[in-house]
Amino acid sequence: MAKGKLQLGRAVPLPKSPDDATLDAVPNPHRDTDYAVRFTAPEFTCLCPITGQPDFAHFVIDYVPAKSILESKSLKLFLASFRNHGAFHEYCTVAIGKRMAAAIKPKFLRIAGFWYPRGGIPIDVFWRTGRLPGGVTLPEPGVSPYRARG
């Protein structure tokens, strides 16, 4: 669960880096039911660690909660903390998934990072943990292979 006071409902400055960000967990209101939650972040940005130029991604994050769910404001602040952070696509995608999994300990979590091209090559990164419980519907991410991602 969240340590201290939740970020929800109060003014919170943008974390200076992903390491400074906090992901808030709150009690799952339906612990007796398996269901999927989807977060979509179509405007993620970070910096190339070599050139310092901006990189852009469209994230689709699905999870099946156990005891906790992730509070969305804390996720927004966490994702925004990457804006001035230099890291490769693979690092960002997997690090986000691992931090979420550590914060809420879901039954299942899948993150799909669809990165816009640099040098003409889009890099899509996928990571998952846990097993999808039987009976839970998990739609496809719904992001097309690169053709201007539109």
**Annotated active-site positions, please?**
48, 55
Give the tokens for residue 30: 């339906």
49 vs 53: CA distance, rounded Å: 8
Alpha helix segments (H runs only) across 36-113: 72-80, 89-104
**Burial, 109: exposed, middle or buried (Cβ in 10 Å; 0-12, 13-18, 19+)?**
buried
Q: Whose structure tokens read 């405007």?
A: 43
Which amino acid would we find at residue 28? N
Whole-number Å distance between alpha carbons of 102 and 78 = 14
Tokens of 96: 């986000």
Give the integer Cα–Cα distance in Å for 112 and 121: 17
